[in-house]
A and B are shown apart, each in its own frame.
Chain A
Amino acid sequence: MSEWVKSERQVEREQIRRTRARRSASVATLSTVVFIVLLVWVVTNSPGWPRVEETFFDGEQFLKALPDVLDGFLLNIKIFLFAEPLILIVGLLVALARGITTPAFFPIRALATLYTDVFRGVPTILVIYLIGFGLPALRLQGIPSDLATLGVIALTLSYGAYVAEVFRSGIESIHPSQVAAARSLGLSHGRTMWFVVLPQATRRVVPPLLNDFVSLQKDTALVATIGPLEALRQAQIHAASTFNYTPYLVAALLFILLTIPMARFTDHLAERTRRRRGA
């Protein structure tokens, strides 16, 4: 009674579970193999396949373009690494500004609302054009002229608006009783936000934020439109000189290599949150 000795029934039960686990694993493997074989068969038997293979999957062109595209890709990573923290700061500040209820600060709130409305409405590529060509044309002192920097500014403005909304929905998802508890302890609106609401809200919005960052990683390629030599631009240059599109494949592969770990990390975090919630 006091110590558990596994019964025969339980041993048999675990045996059944193992058998079933093995069976589902083999079914999964088999169906995956069948699926891949079918897909490859359909693609390679299409009428235009030889032509596509030649233009997109040229091994020689691949190796030739790789060093330059990889070099350009480092700039993409740099743009991303600079833009990301800036976006977080802008997004958080705008989200907080939209939550201000003090009448005297109405202009700030209105400005924040206007900002999110405008920059969520304008396509990112247009923002990049407007900032990339418009900002230097003002010829103001201190405005950067470096194209990558302008790209970072444009991406920050565009993504900041999205991230602000993510933060705002996180803040609004915290139950009012939490605010009531904090305010009744005498904490001001600001302190309530900082010590009680934001820590809970941030944890909740990490998965959607990471999702936005996966999207940002590949949107760094849009900066190519104003000219800095990043991965897509390098691939374009190569493709234009040989009329072979394999360099684009190189760029695509590099972007995938960067975004997949981020996507898996997002999944991992979401799973961890789910498990922590119990059940």
Chain B
Amino acid sequence: MSLLSIEGVWKSFHGHSVLRGIDLEVRPHEVVSLIGASGSGKSTLLRCVNLLETVDDGTIRLDGDDITDPRVRVDDVRKRLGIVFQAFNLFPHMTVLDNITLAPRRVHGVSKAQAEEQARDLLDRFGLAGKAGAYPDSLSGGQQQRVAVIRALATQPRLILLDEVTSALDPQLVLEVLGIIRELKESGMTMILTTHEMGFCRDISDTVCFLDGGVLLEKGPPEQIFREPEHERTRAFLRSVLEAGRL
């Protein structure tokens, strides 16, 4: 069974259609990348999955439960999802440790000792052992983003959504964040990510989806999408990315 299934999702803002009937299935342990130009609807789709946006039409199921049903409790759905934002969105008034343990303690009812132990394990694993007591402002962008990934991971979500997680980082910092995502894939985490890093996308994805004007134009394994795309629009997009030196 699919872990996440998106059927015929439509979304518009102020009369402008951003998603025009998106269908997508995500299997457990699958890594799905969404690529496409700015404004193609990638981020909106992620926000719809996290219920940050209400869909205009269509259904999204998580483990078979319809999460777009108006009777569903939004907080209960979000408990099962993790999201990492482009701009990190760490809480500046909390230490790294408090950022990570906030949701496990206050939402999932984990004891302070247990939550902190788990957080320290994760920090160790991702090379941030010394940073538990630091405040976000004192960390580099790459470190902040790694903390944000750990924060999303700490609630043991079914699915992690990664929205342009490297776009705000210097090139040398991108690698450390990509490294942690690669580790997540190896540990079997299911992920949907939007990215402009085509090399990384080809490397990590099981499935690549090309979005164009709110339509999922083409979908397939990375070899197929990057080597022999079917659509002229996909080819044009990949060409422009190539010219920008991002592939």
Contact mask for chain A residues 195-214; partner B; CB cutoff 8 A; 1 contact, 0 none = 00000000000000000000
Task: Determine whether A10 belongs to the interface, using a CB cutoff of 8 Å to chain B.
Answer: yes
- Known A-B contacts A1-B21, A4-B20; A13 and B215 likewise in contact (beta carbons under 8 Å): no
Q: Are B70 and A4 in contact (CB under 8 A)?
A: no
Q: Which of B56, B59, B71 contacts A4 (CB 8 A)?
A: B56
Q: Does A7 contact B70, Cβ atoms closer than 8 Å? A: no
Contact indicator B215/A1 (Cβ below 8 Å)? yes
Q: Mark A1-41, 1 if CB is under 8 A from B, else 0.
A: 11010110110010011001000000000000000000000
B69 near A4: Cβ-Cβ < 8 Å? no
B88 within 8 A of A: no
Once A and B bind, how many residue pairs between them come within 8 Å at the CB atom?
A: 30
Complex Cα gap A207–B17 (Å): 35
Contact between chains at B17 and A4 (CB < 8 Å) = yes
How far is B12's CA from A183's CA once the two chains are assembled, in angstroms?
41
Q: Roughly how many angstroms separate A16 CA and B69 CA in the complex, as a whole number?
A: 9
The residue that A9 contacts in the complex, of B17, B20, B21, B59, with Cβ under 8 A, is: B59
What count of chain A residues pass the 8 Å CB interface test?
11
Question: Contact check: which of A1, A2, A10, A16 meets B71 at CB < 8 Å?
Answer: A16
> Would you give the shortest CB distance from B168 to chain A, in whole angstroms?
15
Q: Indicate which residue in A1, A2, A6, A20 contacts B70 across the interface (CB closer than 8 Å).
A: A20
Whether A7 pairs with B69 at a CB distance below 8 angstroms is: no
Contact of B8 among A7, A17, A20 (CB under 8 A): A7
Residue of B nearest to A5 (CB): B57
Shortest A258–chain B CB gap in Å is 37
Per DSSP, chain A at the interface is helix
A62 to B59, CA, bound (A): 62
B70 touches A9 (CB 8 A): no
Cβ-defined partner of B57 (8 Å) among A4, A16, A20? A4
Contact status A1-B20, CB under 8 Å: yes
The answer to whether B68 has its CB under 8 Å from any CB of chain A is yes
**Smallest CB–CB gap between B188 and chain A, Å?**
32
What's the nearest-Cβ distance from chain A to residue B21, in Å? 6
Known contacts A1-B215, A13-B68, A16-B70; A6 and B57 CB within 8 A of each other: yes
Check A9–B71 contact: CB distance below 8 A.
Answer: no
Q: What is the bound-complex CA distance between A20 and B69, given in angstroms?
A: 12
A13–B8 CA distance with the chains assembled, in angstroms:
15
Distance, CA A17 to CA B17, complexed state (A): 22
Indicate whether B58 reaches chain A with its CB closer than 8 angstroms: yes
Would you give the 0/1 interface string for B131-142, flagging 1 where the beta carbon is closer than 8 Å to chain A?
A: 000000000000
Interchain CB contact under 8 A, B69 and A13: yes
User: A175: shortest Cβ distance to chain B, in Å?
Assistant: 13
Check if B210 is an interface residue, CB within 8 A of chain A. no
A16 CB, min distance to chain B CBs, angstroms: 5
What are the 7 A-B residue pairs with the smallest beta carbon separation, nearest first? Answer: A10-B57, A16-B70, A17-B70, A4-B10, A7-B57, A13-B70, A1-B21
- 11 cross-chain CB contacts under 8 A: A1-B20, A1-B21, A1-B215, A2-B20, A4-B17, A4-B56, A4-B57, A7-B58, A10-B57, A13-B69, A16-B71
